[in-house]
Chains A and B, each alone.
Chain A
């Protein structure tokens, strides 16, 4: 406070204006989320009467009740959780192990291996050949499509490699003296000391898997493979058929409640689904942001 008083007038104006800009920015960043939250707690009929700004006029849990009680939602959340957990574990083990092998400095053919991987960062087959490959592999309309193609990423492999390079070689050598094989060394020694990088990559993978929608909508057809994201996307796509979808949802679900279709509207249901879908990510990411930031820095230095 004291130091601020001593500042010249220009500086003081600058700081005030700057703080004001940042507060405006906070509002611009947060208000859309806040708006979605209040709409999700609003009564559908009341919502149609006029716009809401800061608070729901008529508070209700009907929208959440509707979404949560539908069978499709149960399927969607199960698939989302499964693909996130399985996909992330598999990605970390597979990519982390490959990176460990690749990071050994005197590895034979290291240059060759790296070249094979690096080329894929710049060129690719594109959508159609990839689709045809999945089709030939029988991955279309198969739960494995969520897990297998995302098992390895060379970008994350680089992150792992740059971390492993900082691990002292003596750690590994002493274990080798004791007669441990490479796989044991990897799991018993390398993984425990590499927790930060595993956390970083796991978080990238978690967010990627949780947010993925394109593969579900493009490569799967069955309702049993729906994820939260694709369910939401379908709600959007079928905006005009939304009433029908709501009826369909209430036909398949609505176990406990006898919901009248008129109690919810496309907008309120959609927004409630969105809040449920976003919630886990929003809760998790602030605690892990240092890992994310570390990952981005490592990536930019290496790439």
Chain B
């Protein structure tokens, strides 16, 4: 390149022009070199990439294509005409959402079941973890923990069988017991009553997940520095003071994280329960948004409308996560990200 400059001599314009070519060439050479290095590295790593690509293709097919399928929320979708040929209808599906007669009750049910579950389950789970931690005998502790996980491993289909066996008005054991003890005179309607549905759902969920949810808290408690407790004891702090002022502050972070997840799950609560425990009598209290997506979409065939609801649900869920994270950061200084 330097020879070139010599030959042209003093002609500024040409020189300038050539310099630019020179510069570009150098950039190209650099780029090609980098590219070659890159390809070389890629070739060396190709084995790893070949392991990742199937999962990538899988994710694109099973996660991203359905995301693209959300366009039917903006269309007058019919199964016959298909996604692409169905005509656009703008925001009509979303407008229908506001005009839907059932919507206020469904939203109320969703929020009630979601919020009540959180409000009821957190104190119980944390209380359980704190109390279990105070059990002295390691064997007894282990037995309780193992037993408390058990309901986590059963499906909601099995849960429903158990709940019907326990609470059935005609042949359930609770109803029978209360009758035998003379507390109630007639059969006790829990499964087929509008008022008891929320309670049934909330408490059965707590029963099912209590032990499992406590695992994280127990692990954090086990990791707390023992000397903190010793110091507090010397300062005269009682058992409950130690729980309140040492254990609880240490649990704050993990509670914040699980709470963020729980809050963002509120829009999608109540599906399994409504699927198995709803009946003609309590359906008005049982219908939650996720269940409504299922019934209106797959059972009644309003695909576009159900997709619109589903889309709103995931947007609300993501928003709740961001909001909960923000609030948690402000209050406790801890968050998911």
Residues of chain A touching chain B, judged by Cβ–Cβ distance below 8 Å, are 10-11, 14-15, 18-19, 21-22, 25-26, 28-30, 32-33, 35-36, 39, 47-48, 50-53, 94-95, 97-98, 100-102, 104, 106-109, 113, 116-117, 120, 122-133, 137, 149, 151-152, 154, 157, 181-183, 186, 207, 211-213, 218, 229-230, 232-233, 236, 239, 267, 270-271, 273-274, 277-278, 281-282, 285-286, 289, 292-293, 296-297, 300
Shortest A16–chain B CB gap in Å is 12
Expressed in whole angstroms, the Cα–Cα distance for A152 and B57 within the complex equals 11
Given A15-B136, A19-B135, A128-B293: A123 touches B67 (CB 8 Å cut-off): yes
Determine if B276 and A236 form an interchain contact, defined as CB atoms under 8 angstroms apart: yes
Max chain B C-beta neighbours (<10 A), residue from A51, A127, A230? A127
**Contact among A10, A107, A129 for B307, CB-based, below 8 A:** A129
Determine if A30 and B147 form an interchain contact, defined as CB atoms under 8 angstroms apart: yes
User: Which listed segment binds A: B10-18, B25-33, B39-47?
Assistant: B39-47
Expressed in whole angstroms, the Cα–Cα distance for A52 and B173 within the complex equals 7
The 6 closest A-B pairs by CB, nearest first: A125-B66, A182-B47, A51-B176, A129-B69, A126-B310, A101-B51
Give every chain A residue within 8 A of B276 (Cβ-Cβ).
233, 236
- What interface size band does chain B fall in? 35 or more
**Contact among B67, B161, B310 for A232, CB-based, below 8 A:** B161
Determine if B216 and A36 form an interchain contact, defined as CB atoms under 8 angstroms apart: no
Give every chain A residue within 8 A of B144 (Cβ-Cβ).
22, 25-26
The reply on B119 being an interface residue by CB < 8 A is: no
User: Which listed segment binds A: B94-102, B105-113, B164-172, B326-334?
Assistant: B164-172
User: Which listed segment binds A: B126-134, B194-202, B224-232?
Assistant: B126-134
Shortest A255–chain B CB gap in Å is 25
Determine if B157 and A128 form an interchain contact, defined as CB atoms under 8 angstroms apart: no
Determine if A94 and B165 form an interchain contact, defined as CB atoms under 8 angstroms apart: no
Expressed in whole angstroms, the Cα–Cα distance for A104 and B42 within the complex equals 13
**Considering only CB atoms, which chain B residue lies closest to A265 in the complex?**
B171
Given A98-B52, A123-B318, A232-B161: A51 touches B180 (CB 8 Å cut-off): yes
